[in-house]
């Protein structure tokens, strides 16, 4: 408190001579007025900080400027050196006092050594990086704001290191406290190595928890989403304590499906109905896709499981001769596409597809297009993780009640005891 009052006293003295100080520094009053609030804030910040620096010298030498004191420490003021700083209102310069002849070195407490920019400003840089600015864009977009303090690529890179540290901690965190309800597994292909045009799979696991929140659980590189790569990711989740989910939602990637069956043989699987619809329509002439899609919608947007099975029967009967390949594609693992009907109806929209993570992947692609090719795989994983995590924070959650949780638990047990069977689909595949 004593030091704080000294700063106020010095600041008050500066306030009395503000006009003279502005003229001495070459700042015209009209310039202050035209500069608006930011200019006033910068001048105020500089005045207070300059006052604090002078107080530090007074306390270190145990005497004020031009004052002689028998009990004072050895040493004397030896001019100033300029130092550029940047805060929320912009850039300015202060005069840092120098001391010589003292028994101990004089170190400043008001400004940490080598710091040129407010930590709050640097905290913004990783967010801008995740939002889509490349390191080159920072200088073009914010260079005029930094001015004398400078904004180099190295300063941006240092600021982004906090993303690396957060990512490293995230990958190793304990998952035993995550109460996972629905687990989503999907992958995205990206160029993750400098000098290579080949894309590699980035495997992602995230979930909807029992409280309705969404959690990003794991991420690893996986060449072309192979079974072995997915097994490594699932084993890592289990090793960190992740409990078995009530339902796993995936696309139709064979390696992923095999890995899930090996890891959680008793956990029901929901195949993404959006991917299934696209696979079926790919085997239909473009002119016929609209009417075929209407009948697919009747399957995946029915009022219940019984109605959905009847819609499958009707589809196979209607298109069996006209589009046999499309019908064979639909009939294959159709039961996995209908698993969501056993779970709470309020959750159907969220769990019948993998749209939740697909939307996040669109944001990832938007961001990675800016980068082009990453310098190394760590940079790629960190940016993809940060983009998905940023998207996750926008999640509003889904409604959860004790009744919903109870039904989800019973659905899993029911599917183990009485799996869904679509007789018409199995007969169709036998004939095909």
pLDDT in tens, 127-155: 445 444 455 554 444 454 444 444 555 55
- pLDDT, position 384: 83
Q: Copy the structure tokens of residue 112.
A: 């940490």
Contact 357, 265 (CB under 8 A): no
- pLDDT, position 333: 92
- pLDDT, position 394: 76
CATH class of 178-264+375-399: alpha beta
- In the chain, % helix, strand, coil (3-state, to 5) comes to 60, 15, 30
- pLDDT, position 243: 93
- The whole-angstrom separation of Cα 96 and Cα 112 is 12
- The whole-angstrom separation of Cα 258 and Cα 290 is 33
3-state SS class at 398 = coil
- pLDDT, position 4: 45
What are the sequence ranges of the domains in the chain?
Answer: 2-116, 120-170, 178-264+375-399, 273-353+401-432
- pLDDT, position 363: 80
Ranges of the chain whose pLDDT falls below 70: 1-50, 52, 62, 66-73, 76, 84-92, 103, 109-160, 194-196, 370-374
Half-sphere exposure of 431 (CA within 13 A, CB side): 14
């Amino acid at each position: 408190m004593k030091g704080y009052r000294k700063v106020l006293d010095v600041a008050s003295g500066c306030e009395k001579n503000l006009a003279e100080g502005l003229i001495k520094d070459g700042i015209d009053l009209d310039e202050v007025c035209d500069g608006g609030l930011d200019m006033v804030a910068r001048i105020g910040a500089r005045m207070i900080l300059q006052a604090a620096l002078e107080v530090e010298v007074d306390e270190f030498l145990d005497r004020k400027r031009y004052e002689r004191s028998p009990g004072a420490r050895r040493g004397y003021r030896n001019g100033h050196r300029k130092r550029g700083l940047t805060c929320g209102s912009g850039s300015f310069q202060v005069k840092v006092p120098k001391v010589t002849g003292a028994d101990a070195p004089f170190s400043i407490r008001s400004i940490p050594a080598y710091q040129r920019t407010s930590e709050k400003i640097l905290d913004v840089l990783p967010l801008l990086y995740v939002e889509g600015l490349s390191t080159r864009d920072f200088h073009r977009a914010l260079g005029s704001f930094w001015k004398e303090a400078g904004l180099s690529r190295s300063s941006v890179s240092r600021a982004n290191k906090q993303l690396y540290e957060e990512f490293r901690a995230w990958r190793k965190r304990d998952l035993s406290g995550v109460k996972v309800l629905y687990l989503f597994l999907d992958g995205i292909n990206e160029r993750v190595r400098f000098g290579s045009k080949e894309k590699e799979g980035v495997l992602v696991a995230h979930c909807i928890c029992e409280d309705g929140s969404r959690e990003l659980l794991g991420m690893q590189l996986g060449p072309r989403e192979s079974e072995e790569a997915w097994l490594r990711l699932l084993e890592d989740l289990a090793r960190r304590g992740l409990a078995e989910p009530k339902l796993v939602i995936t696309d139709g990637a064979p390696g992923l499906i095999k890995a899930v069956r090996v890891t959680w043989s008793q956990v029901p699987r929901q195949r993404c109905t959006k991917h299934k619809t696209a696979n079926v329509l790919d085997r239909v002439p473009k002119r016929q896709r609209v009417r075929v899609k209407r009948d697919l919608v009747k399957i995946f947007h029915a009022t219940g499981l019984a109605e959905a099975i009847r819609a499958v029967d009707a589809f196979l009967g209607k298109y069996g001769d006209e589009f046999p390949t499309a019908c064979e594609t639909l009939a294959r693992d159709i039961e996995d596409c209908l698993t969501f009907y056993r779970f709470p109806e309020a959750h159907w929209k969220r769990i019948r597809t993998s749209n939740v993570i697909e939307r996040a992947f669109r944001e990832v692609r938007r961001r990675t297009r800016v980068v082009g090719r990453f310098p190394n795989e760590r940079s790629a994983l960190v940016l993809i993780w940060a983009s998905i995590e940023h998207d996750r924070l926008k999640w509003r959650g889904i409604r959860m009640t004790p009744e919903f949780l109870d039904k989800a638990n019973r659905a899993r047990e029911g599917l183990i005891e009485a799996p869904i069977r679509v007789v018409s689909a199995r007969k169709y595949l036998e004939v095909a």
